[in-house]
Amino acid sequence: MSGHSKWATIKRKKGKTDAERGKLFTRLIKEITVAAREGGGDPEGNPRLRTAIATAKSGNMPQDNIKRAILKGTGQLPGVTYESITYEGYGPGGVALLFEVFTDNRNRVVADIRHTLTKYGGNLGANGCVAWMFDKKGVITVDLEAADEDTLMEVAMDHGAEDINSDVGAYEITMSPEVLDDVRTAIEAKGITIASAEVTMVPQSQTKLVKENEASSMLKMLDLFEDQDDIQKVYSNFDIDESLLEKLAQD
């Protein structure tokens, strides 16, 4: 990115970063709260909570925020009770979509999801319609400049990682959810900074969007889902060629 005013560019970037950080904090607080409610407030005995706390710390969330989220989850502080729900559906071009939702109003969120899907040529599906297309995996992301690939691969594979991919602009390490904590700890012990570590849903195969209108609709739809507070995560199996992505970015 270039421009006549370097400061203007920095401010635009900072504004976007601050907005994204606010959304990230909201989602992390919900994850910590739900994890503590479902598995207890002791991270040593609750792997899901331990992962959520580690992610929150890597995102520079204040320790007080983390503690309050745990206490709300265990009922030691008053707070909203979030229901954990999964919805499934299809997007433009038949793309599979899996929604992880934490909400205090089931009717509101399902109406919002259905409305957005319909607007962009998709539809809400029955439970199980697309979940079988995804595998639950632990995924750790490390910036390319943060580690030597050979060192990273050796330590990750020695502790149970299944694969490492650097074709996505970063090192993406995949493993079973059960060993995520072990692999993360081993990588950090080498002094390597981790950008993110999470349990996620990885598609078994991808649906390529080759029509410009479908690709554009997909990206606009995901932007709207990103802004919906009830939606914690959206998993999808879509793929778009880099050349088409660049064209859409210029429009």
In a shared domain, residues 198 and 210: no
Q: Which domain holds residue 17?
A: 6-74
Task: Please report the pLDDT score of residue 42 as a whole number.
Answer: 92
Taking the model in full, what pTM does it have?
0.78
Residue 94 lies in a domain: yes
Residue 114 has pLDDT above 80, yes or no: yes
Interior/surface letters 12-25, b for 16+ CB within 10 angstroms, e for the rest: eeeeeeeeeeeeeb
Q: How far, in Å, CA of 247 to CA of 10, rounded?
A: 24
In a shared domain, residues 87 and 114: yes
Q: Which amino acid is at 35?
A: A
Question: The CATH number of the domain where 229 resides is what?
Answer: 3.30.70.980
Give the DSSP letter string of 85-142: EEEEEE-GGG-EEEEEEEES-HHHHHHHHHHHHHHTT-EEE-TTSSGGGEEEEEEEEE
Share of the chain above pLDDT 90, in %: 50
Name the region of 160 (left: φ>0; alpha: ψ -120 to 50; beta: rest): left
Share of the chain above pLDDT 70, in %: 91
Task: Please report the pLDDT score of residue 47 as a whole number.
Answer: 86
Task: Please report the pLDDT score of residue 226 as a whole number.
Answer: 84
Count of domains in the chain? Answer: 3
Residue 125 β-bridge partners: 88
Residue 1 lies in a domain: no
Per-residue pLDDT of 6-59, as tens digits, reads 333 333 344 445 556 667 788 889 999 999 998 999 988 888 898 889 888 877
Q: Could you say which DSSP state residue 179 is in?
A: G
Residue 162 lies in a domain: yes
In a shared domain, residues 113 and 225: yes
In a shared domain, residues 41 and 60: yes
Residue 168 lies in a domain: yes
In a shared domain, residues 151 and 198: yes
